[in-house]
């Protein structure tokens, strides 16, 4: 299969592209579309054969559910039954964070195919900020099921070029609208009642909508740890992983180099004791010299992908980040990346 790329200019009229992509999805095909978080591999959520193509192209296990993307908040009622005692909270969250990088896990309606939800009684709903995904969903007239547009477990793509690296030849179309503005997958929340029967949210996946932002709206219950059978997307222990093994290390650690192993370092800003000690074949900074978590978040997956591509790097060492704000989401991704088991020829894992 040859993968076609459509480059879209948002300053001109994009509607003809939306209609073309919607027609492709309506025919049961799939396409990679940009969102503000990462590029997603899109299918008509109500077409089981199309959703099956998503799982096949990604080599994604069917027990891992997908997120349904909607053109506006009101469309949530087409796929989810919002409990009466949680409607006020859901409306408040939608008002504050939609369109945007927030996903809500809610009781599903019967119209949502089992393949989308992995047979779970809930459905993950999001109204993305990026106009391309929303515009295509509007033109299609149905929700779009879309996980990240990469092979399962690998680094999420934040550019069309990264999608082609992962899925070129596996999918018919990529819509290129430039780099993603957030760089991390959406925050996933499950509205629920706390122990006092008051509305709250359970944090299922860290993301751009941080705990600090959420606490201004409602009570945030502690995150649910990963399981072998996830209850929401992105919960597997090993995920977002380069092909090369990843080791986490404190910026002030005295890292122990193993003979014959070439190490590349992903550093926060480039001037930590770990970064300046030398011995690295490659050093890449997430926020060079500025210590800005927002910049680091946008660059995280791109830097991981670039480091993974270096021929003179056998093993990637990533500095731990401050676990505040966006740092929580980035550390979530780095921990999952480092959980990937190295091959027999790779250096054994170490903790510093």
Domains along the chain? Answer: 4-75+112-176 (3.90.870.10), 246-338 (3.40.50.11030)
Dist CA 3 CA 225 (whole Å): 37
Number of H helices, E strands in the chain: 10, 15
SS3 of residue 7 by DSSP: strand
Checking DSSP bridges between strand 102-107 and strand 122-126, what pairing results, if any? antiparallel
pLDDT at 267: 97
**Exposure class string for 41-56: b at 16+ Cβ within 10 A, else e:** bbbbbbbeebbbbbbe
Structure tokens at 250: 């404190």
Structure tokens at 116: 């989308």
Q: How many CA atoms lie within 13 A of 28 on its CB side?
A: 4
Cis peptide leading into residue 101 (ω within 30°): no
What is the distance between the alpha carbons of residues 102 and 110, in angstroms, rounded to a whole number?
23
174 phi, psi to nearest 5 deg = -125, 130
How is residue 214 annotated by DSSP?
H
Joined together, the tokens standing for residue 330 give: 């980035």
Q: How much is the pLDDT for 226?
A: 52
So what's the pLDDT on residue 340? 56
Q: Which residues contact 250 (CB under 8 A, 6 or more apart)?
A: 274, 319, 320, 352
Predicted TM-score of the model (pTM): 0.93
Q: Are 62 and 52 in contact (CB under 8 A)?
A: no
**Phi, psi (deg, nearest 5) at residue 240:** 55, 35
- Residues 262/312, Cβ–Cβ less than 8 Å: yes
pLDDT at 239: 83
> Using CA atoms in the order 69, 70, 75, 79, what is the torsion angle rounded to 10 degrees?
-20
Going by C-alpha positions, the residue among 2, 35, 68 that lies closest to residue 175 is 35
Report DSSP letters for 97-121, one per residue: H-SSSEEEEEEBPTTS-HHHHTT-S
**What is the C-alpha to C-alpha distance for residues 346 and 352, in angstroms, rounded to an integer?**
18
* Residues in the chain with pLDDT values less than 70: 223-229, 340-352
Q: Please give the pLDDT value at position 149.
A: 98
Measured between alpha carbons, how far is 149 from 259 in angstroms, rounded to an integer? 37
Helix axis angle, 15-26 to 131-140, nearest 10°: 60
Instruction: List helix spans (H) across 27-130.
Output: 48-58, 87-97, 114-117
Largest CA distance in the chain: 62
Q: Within 10 A of 208 (CB to CB), how many other CB atoms are there? A: 25
Whether the Cβ atoms of residue 331 and residue 338 lie closer than 8 Å to each other: no
């Amino acid at each position: 299969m040859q993968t076609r790329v459509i480059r879209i200019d948002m300053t001109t009229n994009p509607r003809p592209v939306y209609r073309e992509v919607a027609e492709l999805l309506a025919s049961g095909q799939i396409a990679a579309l940009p969102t503000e978080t990462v590029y997603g591999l899109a299918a008509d959520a109500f077409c089981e054969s199309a959703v099956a193509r998503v799982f096949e192209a990604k080599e994604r296990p069917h027990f891992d559910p997908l997120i349904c993307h909607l053109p506006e908040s009101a469309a949530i009622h087409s796929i989810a039954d919002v409990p009466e005692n949680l409607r006020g909270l859901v409306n408040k969250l939608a008002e504050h964070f939609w369109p945007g990088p927030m996903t809500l896990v809610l009781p599903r309606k019967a119209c949502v195919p089992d393949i989308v939800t992995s047979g779970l009684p809930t459905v993950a709903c999001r109204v993305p900020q990026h106009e391309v995904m929303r515009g295509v969903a509007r033109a299609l007239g149905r929700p779009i099921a879309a996980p990240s547009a990469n092979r399962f477990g690998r680094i999420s793509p934040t550019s069309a070029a990264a999608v082609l690296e992962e899925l070129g030849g596996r999918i018919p179309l990529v819509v290129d609208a430039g780099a993603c503005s957030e760089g991390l997958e959406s925050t996933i929340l499950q509205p629920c009642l706390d122990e006092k029967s008051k509305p709250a949210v359970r944090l299922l996946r860290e993301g751009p909508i941080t705990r600090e932002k959420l606490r201004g709206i409602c009570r945030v219950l502690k995150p649910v740890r990963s399981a072998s059978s996830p209850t929401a997307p992105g919960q597997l222990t090993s995920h977002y992983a380069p092909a090369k093994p990843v080791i986490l290390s404190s910026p002030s650690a005295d890292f122990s180099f193993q003979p014959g192993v070439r190490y590349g370092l992903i550093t926060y800003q480039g001037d930590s004791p770990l970064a300046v000690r030398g011995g690295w074949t490659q050093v890449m900074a997430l926020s060079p010299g500025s210590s800005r978590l927002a910049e680091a978040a946008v660059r995280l997956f791109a830097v991981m992908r670039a480091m993974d591509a270096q021929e003179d790097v056998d093993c990637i060492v990533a500095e731990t980040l401050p676990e505040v704000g966006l740092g929580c989401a980035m550390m979530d991704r780095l921990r999952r990346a480092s959980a990937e088991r190295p091959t027999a020829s790779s250096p054994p894992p170490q903790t510093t």
